[in-house]
Structure 1
Amino acid sequence: MLSQKKYVTELLEKTGMLGAASTPTPMVSTPKLVASDGSPPFADVHLYRSVVGMLQYVCITRPDLSFCTNKLSQYMSAPSDTHWRAVKRVLRYLAGTMDHGLCLTAGQLELVGYSDADWASSIEDRRSTSGYVVYLGSNPVAWCSKKQSVVSRSSAEAEYRSLANCVSELLSIQQLLNEVGMSMSKIPTIWCDNSSTVSVAENPTHHTKMKHVEIDHHFVREKILAGCLQVNFVPSAQQIADVLTKPITPKQFSSFRRALRVLPSKDLCTTKTNKQGEC
């Protein structure tokens, strides 16, 4: 298990949040954070930037914090009291999950990805949020939560952009494994919960409906035709990457956090040995 308990403790001590009442999720779905909601500017901009920067480091072993940290990072230039309250909620969540870490186990040598997007989620500019996670066996080895750089005109387009990023990451990992002499036991699979996106990726006749999507994103279909990977549909209730695109209910969050292999240290990893290390 990879844990940063010592670092998290230092972060909570720095902000006076050690021992604070915990919350089940790091961020609420409503109200949505915006750049300016009329609340006063936060007095200590340096503190805000420092704490969010520390949260970014915690994300190395805590993919469950990726979305909220990415969201809070968007207000570094001029944080408000509202943004600081959102940071304190994340810290309360951390206070209740200090003993959690990334549990890595032995398993099959296969790559699986989950790709998702929250269409037009940004109130200010209606840009979407991409999220993906790539597993090697049962272990998450790469994940991302990021605001898209352009506006998508449909949910399928937003999902397709996220899918392309996931494919790129997965193939990079596959190439690295090949270079060290490790070959996959199965063709890599990426799971997407948007049926239109899956159809566009697999069927060239559907591409005329999405010509406004940049050409470079169509390398996804080329990789599929070359047999490098396959893209399949997964119901939204089983879409693990959902936790990387938006705030979700405590029940969903707990389920997806476990799927991301973020577990408390008291939970034994499903291996013969249970070694724990600090990052």
Structure 2
Amino acid sequence: MLSSIEPKSYYEPKKIEDWVVAIQEELNQINKNDTWTLVPRPTNKNVIGSKWIYRNKMNEKGAVIRNKARYFLGLQIAQTSKGIFISQQKYASELLKKFNMNDSKAVSTPLCPNTKLSLDCTSEAVPSTLYRFIIGSLLYLTASKPDIMYFVGLVARFQSNPKMSHLQAAKRILRYVKGTIFYGLHYIFFSPTMTIAAFSDADWGRSLPDRKSTSGCCYILGSNVVSWLSKKQNTVSLSTSEAEYIVASQAGSQLLWMQSTLTDLGLHFSMLPKLFCDNQSAIAISKNPTLHWKSKYIDIRYHFLRDKVQKGLLDITYLPTVDQIADIMTKPLLPHRFSTL
């Protein structure tokens, strides 16, 4: 009889025999594959943290058929005199091998520019277990690859009833990963004058099943990208201005929270948090104290942005679309535009 409990910490499974066995099996497999070699800890090196993940594998009837314990690690960190470089090259290589994509042809973008995925009632159905496995694996890869964030989120919307067109889109993302396997995040050391900023963008009504818009945000600390977001909005927007204003409000809220948290940690900022938006109407709504005809249908909670701008706590600035880096979080782009961002 296998355990039906999924432990949340390292101390819980020590009391459950089935999980002790699962942990030992994983450690034995690690030793068998020569995954690592134990050495004394260098005095001048930082230790990368890791954790155990406990998951129950179930059959089609929902019965537990296996307790799986995994040592969760995959980030590779290289330190230089100017900063650090974070990547998941090893994890990406294993991912391609796992899904038999090692010999596939690499592509320059995760999706073709004109691709619009729908429910696709006419296409052949594919195994949902395989599809969800691919999506889950790709989601972990977004920890160091913000360039695939939108695309993974897009194909994840069809997990309940995946079709061949959705699987092909997911495999194209894997082909893109193959061509960018050495890509990662480069963080340079902080400068004396620290700034914090966000880029917000929206693609109006692109989701074909429900016509909801997609929000995209990138958050910058100094010159480093420290957080990013690509998410379908909760409500249907009646205009581009409304979609842009909603994401700008969300980005502004997150930006002020980041400033408060970093200030508590001892960082100080000489300038107001700056929010870059490429929609003039959304900026006008945020700065107009009277009821604007374009904003009367916008949920009142999104006027948080207007309140903070009027109080001088946030600076919202127009940015031409060509310079909007959050554009990569909202839709497929042409190869040149994609590689530039």
User: TM exceeds 0.5?
Assistant: yes
Corresponding position of 2:276: 191
The answer to whether 1:34 aligns with 2:118 is yes
Give the CA deviation at 1:205. Answer: 3.0
Secondary structure of 1:103's aligned partner: strand
Secondary structure of 2:241's aligned partner: helix
The structure that is helix-richer by fraction is 1
Secondary structure of 2:220's aligned partner: strand
Corresponding position of 1:170: 255
Where in structure 1 do 4 or more consecutive aligned residues deviate above 2 Å? 205-209
Would the aligned equivalents of 2:214 and 2:230 in 1 still touch at CA under 8 Å? yes
Corresponding position of 1:83: 166
Corresponding position of 2:100: 16
Asked which structure has the greater CA Rg, the reply is 2
Task: Output aligned runs, 1:236-251, within 5 Å.
Answer: 236-251=321-336
Of 57, 61, 64, the residue aligned with 2:140 is 57
Change (3 A) 1:237 1:206: farther
Q: Distance in 1 between matches of 2:241 and 2:293?
A: 13
Give the CA deviation at 1:208. Answer: 4.3
Task: Output aligned runs, 1:1-279, within 5 Å.
Answer: 1-42=85-126, 44-106=127-189, 107=191, 108-205=193-290, 207-256=292-341
Q: Distance in 2 between matches of 1:63 and 1:31?
A: 19
Encode CA deviations 1:120-149: one digit per residue, 9 max, x unaligned: 111121110000111001111111000011
Change (3 A) 1:238 1:251: same
Letter in 1 for 2:301: D
- Higher RCO (C-alpha 8 Å, min separation 6): 1
- Unaligned runs of 5+ residues in structure 1 are 257-279
Larger CA deviation: 198-207 vs 33-42? 198-207
Give the CA deviation at 1:100. Answer: 0.5
Larger CA deviation: 176-185 vs 7-16? 176-185
Would the aligned equivalents of 1:19 and 1:95 in 2 still touch at CA under 8 Å? no
Percentage identity across aligned positions? 39
Letter in 2 for 1:15: F
User: Normalising by structure 2, what TM-score?
Assistant: 0.73
- Unaligned runs of 5+ residues in structure 2 are 1-84
Q: Distance in 2 between matches of 1:195 and 1:37?
A: 39
Secondary structure of 1:104's aligned partner: strand
Encode CA deviations 1:156-204: one digit per residue, 9 max, x unaligned: 0000111111111111111110111211121111111100001111122
Would the aligned equivalents of 1:199 and 1:206 in 2 still touch at CA under 8 Å? no
Q: Distance in 2 between matches of 1:23 and 1:37?
A: 27
Larger CA deviation: 122-131 vs 206-215? 206-215
Would the aligned equivalents of 1:26 and 1:65 in 2 still touch at CA under 8 Å? yes
Q: Distance in 2 between matches of 1:208 and 1:178?
A: 38
Secondary structure of 1:140's aligned partner: strand
Q: Distance in 1 between matches of 2:110 and 2:123?
A: 21
Q: Distance in 1 between matches of 2:294 and 2:109?
A: 38
Corresponding position of 1:260: none
Secondary structure of 1:40's aligned partner: coil
Give the CA deviation at 1:31. Answer: 3.5
Across the two proteins, how many residue pairs are aligned to each other?
255
Give the CA deviation at 1:30. Answer: 2.3
